[in-house]
Each structure stands twice: as structure tokens, then as C-alpha cells.
Structure 1
Amino acid sequence: MAKSTWNVDASHSAIEFVVKHMMISNVRGSFHSFEANVIADPEDLTTAEIDFSIDVNSIDTRDEGRDNHLRSADFFDVENFPKLTFKSTNITKKGQGEYDLTGDITIRGVTKPLTFHVTYEGGGKDPWGGERAGYSAKGSLSRKDFGLTWNSALETGGVLVGDEVKLNLEIEAVKQG
């Protein structure tokens, strides 16, 4: 199949994250507003060009107070850094429908490389004659690498918020005409 332009169908996609809380449990959250421009052969991502943008203000951890704190200068500082971006730099095939997708992620004005393990979930025609493809992606990053260093020490030892952030993406892409 030839390379073509694809857009993310946000209503059938999800960007979720998991962070350790008090060193004993995991807190989950998501971003609801995002977009991507992808130029790819959906069945062979090795030559794909992927640009992803997330509206950080759309963060949702099911707790309004925590979400507002995450939007503040203590964390994402959405007033000065409203977008989180990712641009692919290298894609390596690891097996049938399996890839390592490396790119530059920018959070709070800091850019670092990040690798996702991507699985091609399949593709096909939708009921309206369009073409769709699905992908799952997993990765992780260190909050400290991006200046997200706010924390609070616990009386029992350890910290309130873990450093590692696990990222899980479920993406449905639609081929553009």
C-alpha cells in the first residue's frame, strides 16, 4: 500500500497515563483534546511521518482540584505551555505489526527523545466508505526530565508523586481523501 495522509479520530482514540501515588497505588488520567498528522502506509510504519499535538488543558484525572494543580506552574504550566507535542524521528520494525517509534516529545518547552512500542491492530473500510487503521502504543518517561519536579515528602518515607509516567495510546486513524 502507498503512503497517504491520515488523521486521528479522537472520538475513537484515547491518550492515557499512569503515575504512582504515595508509592502504593496508581493514579490514571487522560487527555481528551489532541490531533495528529500522519503520512504513512498503515501496514508498514517504517517510513511514516508522525506529528502529534495534545491540548494539555484537556487533562482529566477525575478530580477537579488535582487537574487544576496539574495545569498550574507546579506541573504543566498550561498558561505558558498549552501544548505537548511529539514528532517522529525513527521507526523500526520489530516483528509482524510491531514497531519501535522514536521521536522528540516536548513538554513545558523541554524536548527529549521518547520511544513507544507500537502494535498495528488492523484496518479496513468503515460503513461510510472511509478507510481506517488502529494502533496501540506504550511508552514511559521521567517527569524530572521535563522539569515536572513538584513533589511532597511523606512522613513514612518516599514521595507523593512517582517520577515515572507510563503512557498508553489507543489510536484510530482515518485516511484522508
Structure 2
Amino acid sequence: MANWKVDIAHTEVGFKVKHMMVTNVRGNFTGVEGSVEGDPNDLTDAKITFNIDASTINTNNEDRDNHLRSEDFFDAEKYPEITFNSTEIVETGEDEYDVTGDLTIKDTTKKATFKVTRTGAGKNPWGVDVVGFEAETKISRKEFGLTWNQALETGGVLVGDEITITAELQVNPA
């Protein structure tokens, strides 16, 4: 089986969450490592893993980022990594897959299914094969122990429960 690694220079793992029930806050993680063991042109027999450094969260607001790193949310000092390990991959269409696996945030592991689309393949200017993907899933942050919130005077809460996680990534031979 071939081994491919995530090219961090051409990869972004991001998220969005409802803020004050009216807008979305978006952010990303800059510390991402990942691999695909298998054929990236046909993921059905592949093994996919991701490790994300929780302390690298970035929402373009230093105070919010520090709060997200704290015990109220990711507790990045105690739980430094967010991980994903695929357990089942089902082809759902041409270059489309449901990638199910174990997502671990803090000390909680739950099944999550990413809708993955293979976006293309080619050779970079140095002759190295590259393959691109887009992926998306939605999770309940409360199910992963991310329960901090604040009630709003006008009703509702400061932070929504549903988190949309997205990834745009490129893999290269390891």
C-alpha cells in the first residue's frame, strides 16, 4: 500500500459555529498532520489519520483564541491533540466518499462521517504527484464536552452547538 502525507502548505482545516444566534464565527487550525495509507485515487481501502494541535486554533481574535484553548473549551494544555482515524470508507459517487471514523476531542471519542470529494490530481512543478480533497462534517460540540456557554439577555445563547468542520487538503507521496 502506498503512503501519502498531508501537505500542510496546501491544506486548511477549518470550522464555523453560530455566534449569538445571528452570525457565524470561522476559524482554523494551523498545526495539522495527516496521512492516507492506500490509493488516494480510490479511497475505499485506504486508512486516513489526522492529528491536529489544539493550541493552534485561530479565529483572528487573540482573546477568543485564548478562551478556546482554555479549560472552558479545548483545554489544550491537558488535551493537546484532536485526532481522527478512519474506520470505514464508502464510495457514494464518482470521486465522492463517506469517510467514517473515530473523532477524539478532549477525552471524548465519537463516530463522525465526513463527506469527502476528490477534487483532482496531477504533478506539481517538481514532478511530484499530488491529489486534492475537500471534506465536511457537522458535530455537536456538547457531545465532545465543549459545553461552555452564556445565555443572552434577548434569549438564546452566545455559542451554537452545531460545529461545521471543513478541510481542503492536498496529499503527496510520503
Determine if the TM-score, normalized by the shorter chain, exceeds 0.5.
Answer: yes
Aligned residue type for 1:169: A
2:134 counterpart of 1:140:
no
- Supply the RMSD in Å over aligned alpha carbons: 0.7
2:127 counterpart of 1:118:
no
- List alignment gaps of at least 5 residues for structure 2: none
2:32 counterpart of 1:31:
no
Q: 1:60 aligns with which of 52, 58, 61?
A: 58
Alignment match, 1:51: 49
Alignment match, 2:159: 161
TM-score (norm 2): 0.98
Alignment match, 1:100: 98
Distance 1:43 1:11 in 2: 21
TM-score (norm 1): 0.97
Distance 1:9 1:43 in 2: 16
Alignment match, 1:18: 16
Instruction: Please list the CA deviations of residues 60-83 of structure 1 after superposition, one character each: whole Å capped at 9, or x if unmatched.
Output: 000000000000000000110000
Q: 1:149 aligns with which of 147, 150, 157?
A: 147
Aligned residue type for 2:125: P
Q: 1:90 aligns with which of 88, 91, 95?
A: 88
Distance 2:48 2:10 in 1: 18
Instruction: State the secondary structure of the residue aligned to 1:41.
Output: coil
2:79 counterpart of 1:81:
yes
Shift of 1:37: 2.0
Distance 1:28 1:154 in 2: 20
- List 4+ stretches of structure 1 deviating above 3 A: none
Distance 1:75 1:137 in 2: 24
Shift of 1:125: 1.2
Instruction: Please list the CA deviations of residues 68-105 of structure 1 after superposition, one character each: whole Å capped at 9, or x if unmatched.
Output: 00000000001100000000000000000000000000
Query: Percent of counterpart pairs with the same letter?
Result: 53
Distance 1:20 1:136 in 2: 22
Count of residue correspondences:
174
- List alignment gaps of at least 5 residues for structure 1: none
